[in-house]
Amino acid sequence: MTNVHGESIDLPTPDGTADAYLAHPDDGAPHPGVLLYMDAFGLRPALEEMARRLAGQGYTVLVPNVLYRAGRAPVVELPEHINPAERPQLFEKIMPLIRSFTPELAMRDVGAYLDWLAASPLVADGPVGTTGYCMGGVLAVRTAAAYPDRIAAAGSFHASNLATDAEDSPHRALDRVTAELYFGHADNDHSMPPEQIAALERALDATGVRYRSELYEGAQHGYTQTDTAMYNAEAAERHWRALLDLFGRTL
């Protein structure tokens, strides 16, 4: 692991200013860029720690507060440890924000995030990688489809509703993807049941996208997030191995 520098920054977007966290090796040299997408609980110390861990492997990692329109992070007040008993009250506050954050808004913002990475002297030339968790796993897939010339790899972990009947379901855009994709599904996840995983894999096979789709047995939705009751250390470490393998091959 190299020494890492982390800092909070502000990014201009078409609709305002997004607060974000940036982590990178502190050698001042350019490194491959990675866009790391938050889960529903948002930009917070646990995600900053993930960004620093990834940066320690030689990447410049940007973690935007994608819900910046609702305010700076933390957008909702969070307990130090998020457990299922507190989740209903949290989701009462979070879900309206997520519902108002449409795919159109999301992808408009991504253009600004990618432009910022491309302009930064800390980011090496060439396409970037993306990884996302929960709602961020959906954003990672949508980003790979919306910006195929700029995304070389996308990791999606315990993402929800990747293959639904909705017209804008993420799996319907896979024909635009040129990146290599990795999916780490939680097997105890009612928001991504076996039939949806099968539908996603059929769509991936039909488009010829390079991908791996794996089931993390015994893992719950949210298994990567250290500050939640859903955290599963074994599954989280497996996710790190898969993600670093993906980025090592593609970036």
What does the pLDDT profile of the chain (251 residues) look like in tens digits? 689 999 999 999 999 999 999 999 999 999 999 999 999 999 999 999 999 999 999 999 999 999 999 999 999 999 989 987 777 888 899 999 999 999 999 999 999 999 999 999 999 999 999 999 999 999 999 999 999 999 999 999 999 999 999 999 999 999 999 999 999 999 999 999 999 999 999 999 999 999 999 999 999 999 999 999 999 999 999 999 999 999 999 99
Cβ-based neighbour number of residue 72 at 10 Å: 14
Q: What is the pLDDT of residue 85?
A: 76
Q: In 3-state terms, what secondary structure has residue 52?
A: helix
Residue 220 belongs to what domain range? 4-250
Q: What is the pLDDT of residue 86?
A: 72
Q: What is the pLDDT of residue 1?
A: 67
Residue 68 DSSP label: G
Count up the domains in the chain and report the number: 1
Which residue has tokens 């897939």?
141
Count Cβ neighbours within 10 Å for each residue of 158-195 and write b for 16 or more, e otherwise.
bbbebbbeeeebbbebbeebebbbbbbbbbebeebeee
**Whether 182 contacts 133, CB under 8 Å:** no
Q: What is the CATH number of the domain that holds 32?
A: 3.40.50.1820
Please identify every residue annotated as catalytic.
134, 189, 221
